[in-house]
Amino acid sequence: MSTADLEPQVSALRAMTLIVGRELRLSFRRPEQVLQPLVFFLIVTTLFPLGLSLQLSLLRDMAPGVLWVAALLSSLLSLDALFKGDADDGTLDQLALSGQSLTAIVLAKTASHWLVSGAALVLVSPLVGIALGIPWGVFPTMLGSLALGTLCLSWLGAIGAGLTVGLKRGNVLVSLVVLPLAMPLLIFGAGATDRAAAGISPAGALYLLGSLCVFTCTLAPFAVAAALRITLEG
């Protein structure tokens, strides 16, 4: 058994596929964890029209903001659990000692989190769009902006979750860390939908969302890995 130059035998891509598979399987074994933020999103957006007056025009004016605030809050609901379970049962140590880069592990975990939270939210958003009276023509902009925005949110949330995973009650802190950073997403996301509804081109706001998305997707994995390393050493 030669020990000096034992190279990792599993490629990063193969490792990431394994982790995505594991995360998805875990999510489907506990469907209530996936459904809870979605149900929250649907309930909040359905309660708004009931609480407001019956004017469709007023509802239409407010719809993008309502949609985005609800999406933001429901994304936050599931985020603090991103690394918590693994940290509590010791799996995070095993992942950190797997010989794979922590950045690749974080990338796979956050991507699978987005698949079951953000992407699922994008899929149910047309229902909400119909309920809030958003015109059909605005749907592509709404879906696109939500897809970009929730992906950014998953990454921002992962940074918060990584920093607070060692704390007993980290979830409030995650919201405090993430919400200020999420403001540009809310402004440009709701702005894009608003502009499309007003018949103006939403391209500018969407481009800005896209660039924020590229920024977080490329740099956040390193930040999250660093945050987790601090937690593990603490």
Partner 1 sequence: MDSAPQGLTIEKIHVWRGDRHVLRGVSLILQPGELMQVTGPNGTGKTTLLRVACGLLRPEQGSVAWCGRPIAGVRPQFHSALAYAAHEPALKGDLTALENLRYLVGLKRPVRTAELEAALERTGVAPCAQLPVRVLSAGQRRRVALARVLAMRSPLWMLDEPFTNLDSAGSALVTDLLREHVSAAGMALVVAHHDIALSARLRRLELQ
Q: Which residues bind partner 1 (CB under 8 A)?
A: 1, 3-10, 14-15, 18-19, 21-22, 25-26, 29-30, 85, 89-91, 93-101, 232-233
* Encoded tokens for 141: 């902009």
* Encoded tokens for 94: 């095993």
Q: How far apart are CA 85 and CA 144, in angstroms?
A: 31
| Angle between helix 56-79 and 139-164 (nearest 10) | 30
Of 22 and 60, CB closest to partner 1: 22
Rounded (5°) CA angle 151-109-158: 55
Minimum CB separation of residue 76 from partner 1 in Å reads 23
Of 29 and 168, CB closest to partner 1: 29
Minimum CB separation of residue 58 from partner 1 in Å reads 45
Of 63 and 95, CB closest to partner 1: 95
Of 50 and 97, CB closest to partner 1: 97
Minimum CB separation of residue 217 from partner 1 in Å reads 23
Q: What Cα–Cα distance (Å) separates residue 135 from each residue in 142, 150, 165?
A: 10, 22, 42
> Do 132 and 55 contact (CB within 8 A), yes or no?
no
Determine the residue type at 60: R
Of 93 and 198, CB closest to partner 1: 93
Q: How far apart are CA 222 and CA 211, in angstroms?
A: 18
> Do 113 and 78 contact (CB within 8 A), yes or no?
yes
Q: How far apart are CA 217 and CA 158, in angstroms?
A: 11
Of 30 and 35, CB closest to partner 1: 30
Q: How far apart are CA 130 and CA 122, in angstroms?
A: 14
Minimum CB separation of residue 172 from partner 1 in Å reads 24
Q: How far apart are CA 141 and CA 52, in angstroms?
A: 25
